[in-house]
Structure 1
Amino acid sequence: MRYTDAPQRRAHLARRISADGYLSSAAAAQELGVSEMTVRRDLRMLEEEGAVRRVAGGAAIAGDGVPFERRHSAGAAQKRAIAVLAASEAESADTIALDAGTTIAALVPLVASSTIVTHSLPVIEALTRTGSAELIAAGGHYQPDTRSFAGPLTEDALRSVRCDVAFLSATAAGAHGLWGTNALDAAIKRVLAQQSSRVVLLADAAKLSRTAPVRIAGLDIVDVLVTDSSTDAADLAPFADAGIEIRIAG
C-alpha cells in the first residue's frame, strides 16, 4: 500500500491506531511504503490535531486512560481490601512483580519481605522511601498516564528477571480476556506474566463489567483473581469456567 496524498496517509494512520491501540513508526513506514521520517511527521501532525498520542517508537490512542491520580483516589476502600487479601499470595514468594495499576500500589507496604520487580514509578518511590525491600526497577520510556516505564528498554530489562508471582491489573477483564487502554503498558503486562510462575489479577467489581480498547491477553495467563464483594456472580462465571481461583475481599 502506498499513499502519496498526505491527508489520505494520515487518515489511514489514525484508523490503524484507533483499531489497534498502538502503531509503530517502523511498521507504518513499511506498510505505507514511505520513510519513517515521513511517518513521524504525520504522527506529529495527528498529535497536534488531538487524533493520536505519540509514544516511544510510534503512537497510541489519544487521551487513552484516566489520569493516575484520579484512578488512585477512586474506590480506595475496595482497593485496600483487595490488596490485603492478595498479599497472602506473596507470603512464600522470594521475588514478586508489581504492575503499574493503582490497586497494585496498595500492595507495597504488605509485601516488603520479598524482592520486588517493577516498572511503576509510585512503587519505586514508595520502596526507596522505606528501604524495606530489595528493589529491581525497570526503566524506559516514561508514561504519564500510568506513571510507569514502558517500551522496548523496559521489556528487555524485565525479560532478564524471573519472578515467583506477578500481580497484574487491567482496565477491564472478562470472558474475552484482559483489556487496557495503553498498548505499551499492555506489552509490559504480557512480559511480566511470561516471566512469572504464577499470575494474580487484582480487579474490582467495576472492571469485570467494563470494556477497553487494547487487548492484553486471554484469561489463560491468570491463576488467581482477587476482587471485591460487590462483584456480580455472572461476571465471575468466565473466570470460574477458565479454572481460575477466585478470591473475594470483604
Structure 2
Amino acid sequence: MSVETARYEGAPRRRTQIMAALRRAGFLSVAELSAQLGVSQMTVRRDLRQLAEANEVTLVHGGVSLPPGGVAGPGFASRAQTHTRAKQAIGAAAARMVRPGDTIGIDSGTTAAEVAHALPAEFDGCVVTHSVPVLGHMLSRPRARVIGIGGELLHDNQALVGFGVRDLTRRLRIRTLFLGAGAVDDRGVYVRSEIELSAKHALMEIADEIVLLVDASKLTAAAPVQVCGLDRIDTLVVDAPLPEPVAGAVRRNGIRVVPA
C-alpha cells in the first residue's frame, strides 16, 4: 500500500479523532492537531475542510472550532468543578470591590458566577446578567434587584445570547462589569465561540469599569475569538503571577492588578 493510499484510507479515523478532541477542547489549532495525529499540517487542513463542508466544524484563523450551538468541551457543571478554589478566591476578591447599592454586571462563565455567590447577604444593589446560574442564585437574595438580559440559550455556557441583548441594555448603565474569559494573552481577551460576543460587548458598552476575572489556567489556554484588547480592561483579578509578555501588556495599559 502506498503512503498516499494509507493517508486517504486513514482520513475517516482521523476525522473521528478530530471531532472527539474538539468536543473536549472547543478549539484546536492546526499545529496541535498535526502533533496529536502524527500527520502533516497540510493533511490536517484537508481533513478540516471536509468537516467544514459537512457543517461539523467552523474554520477559524489558525485552527478550528465547533459551530455555534455545538457541544464544546465539558459542560458548565464540569467546568465549575475545575480550579474551584481559585475561582472562589477570585469571586470573593471581586465581590469586595462592590459597594452597597451598586449596579453591577456579571458575565457568563463559572468564574464570573462566583462573584454572585460571594456577594454579601445584605447586598441591596442591582445585578444585570445574562448568566442563567447567576439568575438562579440571585433568587436567594431578595434584597437585590436583578435584571436578566435575554436571548437564545447557549447550553454549554448556560447563558442567554444573541444580538437582541443590545436592545435590552441600551437604556441601562452599570458601574462595574465582571467579565469572564476563555483565554488571555498579551494581545487581549478570548472566548471559544463568536456567538458569545454580542452579550459581552453589550455589557461592556454600558459599564463604567471593566474587571477581568482570570484564573491561572486561562493564561496558558487557547481560544479563537477575540473579545477585546487589553486596553479595554481597567482591573484584572487573578490568582497567580502574570507571565511575560502578559505582565508587560498589563503594565503598558495601566491595568490595576488585584491578587486573589
Partner of 1:95 in structure 2? 103
> Offset of 1:185 from its aligned partner?
1.3
| CA deviation string 1:107-138 (max 9, x = no partner) | 11579332000000001011123323100111
| CA deviation string 1:134-166 (max 9, x = no partner) | 001111100001001000222321233111110
The CA distance in 1 between the partners of 2:129 and 2:163, in whole Å, is 15
74, 85, 88: which one aligns with 1:77: 85
The CA distance in 2 between the partners of 1:199 and 1:149, in whole Å, is 20
Alignment pair present for 1:151 and 2:151:
no
Alignment pair present for 1:175 and 2:186:
yes
In angstroms, what is the RMSD of aligned CA positions?
2.9
177, 190, 193: which one aligns with 2:204: 193
Alignment pair present for 1:243 and 2:254:
yes
The CA distance in 1 between the partners of 2:121 and 2:190, in whole Å, is 26
Alignment pair present for 1:122 and 2:130:
no
Partner of 1:38 in structure 2? none
Letter aligned with residue 197 of structure 1 = D
| CA deviation string 1:180-235 (max 9, x = no partner) | 01212122112211110100000011111222011111111100000003554654
Letter aligned with residue 18 of structure 1 = L
135, 145, 151: which one aligns with 1:140: 151
Judged with a 3 Å threshold, the aligned counterparts in structure 2 of structure 1 residues 78 and 156 are, in CA distance, closer, same or farther, namely same
Where does the alignment leave 5 or more consecutive residues of structure 2 unmatched? 1-48
Contact 2:123 2:143 in 1 (8 A): yes
The CA distance in 1 between the partners of 2:50 and 2:219, in whole Å, is 37
Contact 2:57 2:67 in 1 (8 A): no
Judged with a 3 Å threshold, the aligned counterparts in structure 2 of structure 1 residues 93 and 214 are, in CA distance, closer, same or farther, namely farther
The CA distance in 2 between the partners of 1:207 and 1:169, in whole Å, is 10
The CA distance in 1 between the partners of 2:186 and 2:152, in whole Å, is 31
- Number of aligned residues: 208
The CA distance in 2 between the partners of 1:214 and 1:130, in whole Å, is 34
> Offset of 1:92 from its aligned partner?
5.9
Partner of 1:216 in structure 2? 227
The CA distance in 2 between the partners of 1:69 and 1:16, in whole Å, is 24
TM-score (norm 2): 0.71
Where does the alignment leave 5 or more consecutive residues of structure 1 unmatched? 1-7, 21-50, 56-60
Judged with a 3 Å threshold, the aligned counterparts in structure 2 of structure 1 residues 169 and 76 are, in CA distance, closer, same or farther, namely same
Judged with a 3 Å threshold, the aligned counterparts in structure 2 of structure 1 residues 161 and 233 are, in CA distance, closer, same or farther, namely same
The CA distance in 2 between the partners of 1:52 and 1:247, in whole Å, is 32
Partner of 1:161 in structure 2? 172
The CA distance in 2 between the partners of 1:132 and 1:74, in whole Å, is 31
SS in structure 2 at match of 1:236:
helix
Q: Please identify, of 164-173 and 227-236, the stretch whose mean Cα deviation from structure 2 is larger.
A: 227-236
Judged with a 3 Å threshold, the aligned counterparts in structure 2 of structure 1 residues 207 and 175 are, in CA distance, closer, same or farther, namely same
SS in structure 2 at match of 1:66:
coil
User: Matches of residues 29-48 of structure 1 in structure 2 within 5 Å?
Assistant: none
Alignment pair present for 1:105 and 2:113:
yes
Identity of aligned residues (%): 29
Alignment pair present for 1:206 and 2:217:
yes
The CA distance in 2 between the partners of 1:111 and 1:166, in whole Å, is 20
